[in-house]
Structure 1
Amino acid sequence: MRIPCPVRAAALVALPAALLISCSSVDGGEPSAGGGPTTAAADTRPSAGTQPPASPTEQPSPGPEKVRDAFAGLQATFNDGCTSEGNCAYFLGRVHDELERLDKAMKADPKGPGHFPEPIAWIAELRETVGTDRSYPNLKKHEKELVGTRDRINVWMQDHRDDYR
């Protein structure tokens, strides 16, 4: 039985969120303030540290994501595509988001952005081509560039296995 893509995506978010909630209290104390199930589901990345927020309303920001984790998200788009209009909108939006996520991770990597010159340049070129319009018609118009950039980065990363293992 083939599970619909939105169901698979929800499962991919729900499992890490459940693990995050169950692991949020390692020392046996209460989970951190402001970290209810909806907060955990929205952002399942681990926090950078345990320092308290600067003010009661300011939440600590997570540290930079690892390149391997961001690349895994990009690779997960290989099993999807534009099979229907609704799925195509989801797919293209996800490829765009995963490329942006990878760009941020590469720029924040301890090796420095100079370690990833080609992928960062390709994403910058794509960003210039697509612009700030994240609407489905605009992403559909640039589908070839989005998928091509994803594929080019995948090939580049295959030659740099130490960056995602």
Structure 2
Amino acid sequence: MLAAAALASCTQDTPQDAAPAPASPSAAPADNTDNADQAEQAAPEPTEEPALPAEPAPEAVRDAFATLQATLNDTCTPGAGDCAYFLGRVTQELTELDEAMRADPKGPGHFKQPLADMKTLFAKLGTDRSTPHLEKHFSAIVGTRDGINTWMQDHPDDYR
């Protein structure tokens, strides 16, 4: 109880213009139960945290594009064993950009070309995200990434 009283008194905010409350002359320093009760009564009620959505909202287009753009200087050699991370990452970045564009207040119509390009790519890939399957579609994945980068460069208001 003493710890709760100390915590409550430490976390109370006092307005800058308000004078501190005078100590009760009748309360002896050893009488912590009365002070704890007063602290509990004076403590502001905890505010409720806003409810989190069931699923996180898609990233903003700018943020999703930035992470996709970070892959521009990366590549791999299909069949050489160095593509698992790269192709998985580019595919994931494209998926997140697709979600962000669809959720953007400008609406999917504003992003018609990149969304169509990603839809075509995702239709080719299906649900198989294995390295051999992604390597098979290496050119389509990298080409889609590069095409979207070009489109976005012509629409700087979407990422700046």
TM-score bracket, normalised by the shorter chain, equals: 0.5 to 0.7
Deviation at 1:83, TM superposition (A): 5.3
After superposition, the CA RMSD in angstroms is 1.9
CA offset digits 1:110-131 (Å, max 9, x no partner): 0000000000000000001111
SS, match of residue 116 in structure 1: helix
Task: State the identity %.
Answer: 62
Secondary structure of the residue aligned to 2:128 is coil
Alignment of 1:3-152 (within 5 A): 50-52=49-51, 60-82=54-76, 85-152=80-147
Unaligned runs of 5+ in 1: 1-27, 29-49, 54-58
Contact 2:60 2:104 in 1 (8 A): yes
What is the SS of the residue equivalent to 1:87?
coil
SS of 1:65's equivalent?
coil
**Contact persistence 2:58–2:96 (CA under 8 A):** no
Letter in 2 for 1:63: A
Greater C-alpha Rg: 2
Alpha-carbon separation, structure 2, partners of 1:61 and 1:149: 27
Q: Which secondary structure does the structure 2 equivalent of 1:63 belong to?
A: coil
TM-score (norm 2): 0.65
CA distance in 1, matches of 2:121, 2:76: 19
* Alpha carbons 1:51, 1:60 under 8 Å: kept: no
Per-residue Cα deviation, 1:119-149 (whole angstroms, up to 9, x for no partner): 0000000001111100000000000000000
Letter in 1 for 2:58: P
Q: Distance in 2 between matches of 1:110 and 1:125?
A: 23
Structure 2: gaps spanning 5 or more residues? 1-10, 12-48
Aligned-residue offset at 1:52: 3.1
Q: Hey, what does 1:35 align to over in structure 2?
A: none
Tell me how far 1:60 sits from its aligned partner.
Answer: 4.8
